[in-house]
Amino acid sequence: MEAMRAEQNVALAREAWEDATQIQGALITVLDASASVRPIGMTMEVITSVGGVCQRLFRRIRNRGENNRAGAYLRYVEDLHGIMRG
């Protein structure tokens, strides 16, 4: 959560509004999964949703030529795939 919030702050500072919106969606997904009376936690659905956001961000940022920033999102994707594999 902290890393994703930091990424959102970077996106906002760069005025990358669409990136910030995508990150906000991932944050809300995680918060919804953990903030109810009966939290569902990191289910496959939550992991898939957040992974999809990171994958889209990776492609969008890579296509803009920002390879250093894109690498951070690729690591998120790889980490989430690792979680899904167990």
| Amino acid (one-letter) located at 12 | L
pLDDT value of position 84: 76
Question: Considering its fold, how many domains does the chain have in total?
Answer: 1
pLDDT at residue 56 above 90?
A: yes
pLDDT per residue as tens digits for the range 64-79: 999 988 988 888 888 8
Residue 61 belongs to what domain range?
A: 2-85
pLDDT at residue 23 above 90?
A: yes
CA gap 73, 42 in Å, rounded = 19
pLDDT at residue 46 above 80?
A: yes
Q: Please, which pLDDT band fits residue 42 given cuts at 50, 70 and 90? A: confident
pLDDT at residue 50 above 80?
A: yes
Are the C-beta atoms of residues 30 and 1 closer than 8 Å to each other? yes
